[in-house]
C-alpha cells in the first residue's frame, strides 16, 4: 500500500457530485474500493488516494493552495472564483444550466430593455458580468439559500441560479427567463502538483479521458 504522505489528495464536493466523481474514478480503473460520503470523517482513504469531503465552493481553494493535488468543481464555482489552477478535463457530470429565472408574469419586463434590475443570487461575479455585457445595471443581492423566495417576496426582480430539471422553480411559481450558459464539472489540478507529480497526475487524466471518450 502507498504511504499516506505519498497518496494523491483529491478534494471532492459533498452531495451527488461526490458520488458521480467516485463512480468515474472507479470506471476509469483508478479506484478499486467502495468510497462513501456517508461518514462523519472528512478525509477518506483508499489504497492510492486521500479524498477530502468538502463544500463545493471550497474545492478550488483546497486545490489552488496545494492542500489537494486535484479536485472536482462545477463551472458555476470555477467561474465565480477564477482559481489559479489547471483545468485539463471536462468530466461531463453535474451537468446543469446557469440561468436567469423569475415569475412568468415578469417575462415581458425582462425583455423590455430595462436599464436597471435587482438580481438575487449566490453567483455575484457571473451575474455582474452577464448583465454588464447586456448593458443593464444590476443591484446584486447575495443569498445562499432559498434564493427562489426573492422574486416572490419582492426582494429582487429575478434570480440567477443553477437549474437542473427546473422542478424547484416550477414548484415555486418561477420559470427560466434566459439561459446564461451550460455548466458541468471539471477536473482541477494544482499547478505545483502537476510539475512535481506529473507522471501520477497524467495517468489520472489519461485514464479519465480514455473512459470519457468511450461513453460520450
Report d(CA 193, CA 200) in Å as an integer.
10
What is the model's pLDDT at position 6?
85
Report d(CA 216, CA 212) in Å as an integer.
6
Beta-carbon contacts of residue 137 (< 8 Å; ≥ 6 apart) = 115, 116, 117, 131
pLDDT-based confidence at 216, cuts 50/70/90? Answer: low
What is the model's pLDDT at position 4?
54
Percentage of the chain beyond pLDDT 70 is 97
Beta-carbon contacts of residue 157 (< 8 Å; ≥ 6 apart) = 102, 106, 109, 110, 117, 118, 119, 151
Residue with cell 447586456: 134
| Tens-place pLDDT, residues 30-77 | 998 888 888 788 898 998 899 999 999 999 999 999 999 999 999 999
pLDDT-based confidence at 111, cuts 50/70/90? Answer: very high
Over 70: is that where the pLDDT of 2 sits?
Answer: no
- The domain segmentation of the chain, as residue ranges, is 4-94+184-215, 96-183
Mean pLDDT of 113-126: 96
pLDDT-based confidence at 1, cuts 50/70/90? Answer: very low
Candidate from 37-41, 102-106, 111-115 with smallest mean pLDDT? 37-41
Same fold: 4-94+184-215 with 96-183 = yes
Taking the CB of residue 47, how many other CB atoms lie within 10 A of it?
10
| Tens-place pLDDT, residues 130-177 | 999 999 999 999 998 899 999 999 999 999 999 988 899 999 999 999
Q: Domain 96-183 sits in which CATH superfamily?
A: Periplasmic binding protein-like II (3.40.190.10)
Sign of CA dihedral 75, 25, 44, 20: positive
What is the model's pLDDT at position 52?
96
Mean pLDDT of 183-204: 97
Mean pLDDT of 83-112: 96
Of 55, 57, 54, 24, nearest to 42 (Cα)?
A: 54
Three-state SS for 116?
strand
Q: Domain 4-94+184-215 sits in which CATH superfamily?
A: Periplasmic binding protein-like II (3.40.190.10)
What is the model's pLDDT at position 214?
85
Q: Cell numbers of 207, please?
A: 485514464
Amino acid at each position: 500500500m502507498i504511504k499516506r504522505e505519498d497518496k494523491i489528495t483529491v478534494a471532492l464536493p459533498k452531495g451527488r457530485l461526490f458520488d458521480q466523481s467516485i463512480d468515474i474514478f472507479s470506471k476509469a480503473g483508478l479506484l478499486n474500493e467502495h468510497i462513501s460520503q456517508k461518514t462523519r470523517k472528512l478525509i477518506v482513504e483508499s489504497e492510492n488516494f486521500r479524498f477530502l469531503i468538502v463544500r463545493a465552493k471550497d474545492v478550488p481553494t483546497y486545490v489552488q493552495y496545494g492542500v489537494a493535488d486535484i479536485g472536482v468543481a462545477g463551472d458555476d464555482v470555477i467561474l465565480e472564483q477564477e482559481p489559479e489552477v489547471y483545468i485539463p478535463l471536462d468530466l461531463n457530470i453535474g451537468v446543469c444550466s446557469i440561468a436567469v429565472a423569475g415569475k412568468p408574469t415578469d417575462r415581458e419586463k425582462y425583455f423590455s430593455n430595462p436599464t436597471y434590475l435587482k438580481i438575487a443570487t449566490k453567483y455575484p461575479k457571473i451575474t455582474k458580468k452577464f448583465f454588464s455585457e447586456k448593458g443593464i445595471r444590476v443591484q446584486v443581492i447575495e443569498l445562499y439559500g432559498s434564493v427562489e423566495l426573492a422574486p416572490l417576496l419582492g426582494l429582487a426582480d429575478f434570480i440567477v441560479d443553477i437549474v437542473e430539471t427546473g422542478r424547484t422553480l416550477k414548484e415555486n411559481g418561477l420559470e427560466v427567463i434566459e439561459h446564461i450558459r451550460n455548466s458541468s464539472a471539471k477536473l482541477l489540478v494544482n499547478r505545483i502538483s502537476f510539475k512535481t507529480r506529473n507522471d501520477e497526475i497524467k495517468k489520472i487524466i489519461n485514464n479519465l479521458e480514455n473512459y470519457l471518450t468511450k461513453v460520450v
